[in-house]
Chain A
Amino acid sequence: GAGVSQSPSNKVTEKGKDVELRCDPISGHTALYWYRQRLGQGLEFLIYFQGNSAPDKSGLPSDRFSAERTGESVSTLTIQRTQQEDSAVYLCASSQGNLGGTQYFGPGTRLTVL
């Protein structure tokens, strides 16, 4: 496909469980970003990957959140011991890596923690 894809599109989980969200960026895009949007709120930056450099984790809200990226391909965002306040849409975006370059967003994963 030509765009950024994310899976699952929806995830419902119980408080305390771990969840894993997946992002497939556009082929050739070296930069990958994770954002989240809680209900009724604006988008927030979580983490940024650029090639093989150390990721920028400055937006992660707690140590329950982590993310990995294999080379310049798939990324997974893991939330451990989920809490109700983690309920949000988690969005992934990729770009060609130029600072400030156009970012292409995936459709998001809607996470609901009961």
Chain B
Amino acid sequence: KNEVEQSPQNLTAQEGEFITINCSYSVGISALHWLQQHPGGGIVSLFMLSSGKKKHGRLIATINIQEKHSSLHITASHPRDSAVYICAVVQGGSQGNLIFGKGTKLSVKP
């Protein structure tokens, strides 16, 4: 069993829909990252959080430490949001190296 599980693996949405991507992890963590990988391969850090909720534009990330679960929400989705979204955790006591989920491939249709 992977230490970081994401769901769904693939997601197709219509432009304007509200999107949720889930991440569950099985290890104690000091932080959780949400990353975005564009079709060309470039990776961008969206959020780094260790508790509560963060918002940036149309993106919202939440984490529940007790339940070992995080969600990434996209409001009013747009075709340019199409990418692979990756959840990654920093295991407690580690040096900061990330343990990655397998990613969720999102496709937003116009």
Contacts and interface: CB of A to CB of B under 8 A. Distances in A.
Q: Are both chains from one complex?
A: yes
Interface of A: 31, 33, 35, 41-45, 48, 50, 56, 59, 89, 91, 93, 95, 98-105, 107-108, 110
B41 A108 contact: yes
A50 B96 CA distance: 10
Contact of B88 (A43, A48, A59, A99): A43
Q: A-B pairs with the 6 shortest C-beta distances?
A: A100-B31, A105-B43, A100-B90, A43-B100, A42-B102, A45-B97
Contacts of B99: 45
Contacts of A31: 95-96
Contact of A42 (B41, B42, B86, B97): B86
A41 B37 CA distance: 13
B102 A100 contact: no
Given A42-B103, A50-B95, A103-B96, 6 more contacts: A33-B97, A99-B90, A105-B35, A105-B44, A105-B45, A108-B41
Nearest to A34: B97
A107 B96 contact: no
Contacts of A104: 45
B48 A102 contact: yes
A3 to B, nearest CB: 10
Nearest to A41: B102
B102 A89 contact: no
A29 B35 CA distance: 19
B86 A43 contact: yes
A103 B100 CA distance: 13
A82 B90 CA distance: 30
Given A43-B86, A104-B45, A95 B96 contact: yes
Contact of B33 (A48, A103, A108): A103
Contact of B97 (A56, A89, A107): A56
B72 to A, nearest CB: 16
